[in-house]
Amino acid sequence: MLNIKMICKVEERRIAYNILLSHSIKFAEKIQPVYEALKWTWTDKDGTDIPTLDNVIDIIHKLIYDLKKSEYNECSTGGLRVFINKDDTSPSGLICGIEFKYDDIFTIE
């Protein structure tokens, strides 16, 4: 299993969205080469391809937008997840983050 996260503690949900957006590009820059190394493809309107950096940024931004317009605690697709959860260590705090997760057993050739 491969799991890469960016996590931050915040006091309010509206602040969490701004933090997620502010870290989204840097996170995408770290994750996109992993898609290439795994030869992990996404299917979109243009076909099936390994996602470009712009694709990864766009998906992260869409997930943040979907999270913001809903009351969900998380949104995910294509190995990416954005989330805002209660922080058990702080009564008024929240934890927000962006995560990349790959669960499959794989062989690198």
Residue 8 lies in a domain: yes
Instruction: Decide: residue 84, CB within 10 A, 0-12 exposed, 13-18 middle, 19+ buried.
Output: buried
Within 8 A by CB and 6+ apart from 92, the residues are 11
Residue 24 lies in a domain: yes
Compute the distance between CA of residue 28 and CA of residue 56 in angstroms, rounded to an integer.
6
Q: What pTM value is reported for the model? A: 0.86
- Output the six-digit token pair for 106: 């794989």
**pLDDT band for position 109 (cuts 50, 70, 90):** low
Span 10-52, pLDDT tens digits: 888 889 999 999 999 999 999 999 999 989 888 876 778 999 9
Print the domain residue range for 94.
2-102
Count the domains in the chain: 1
DSSP, collapsed to helix, strand or coil, labels residue 45 as: coil
Residue 107 lies in a domain: no
Residue 9 lies in a domain: yes
The CATH number covering residue 36 comes to 3.30.1490
Residue 108 lies in a domain: no
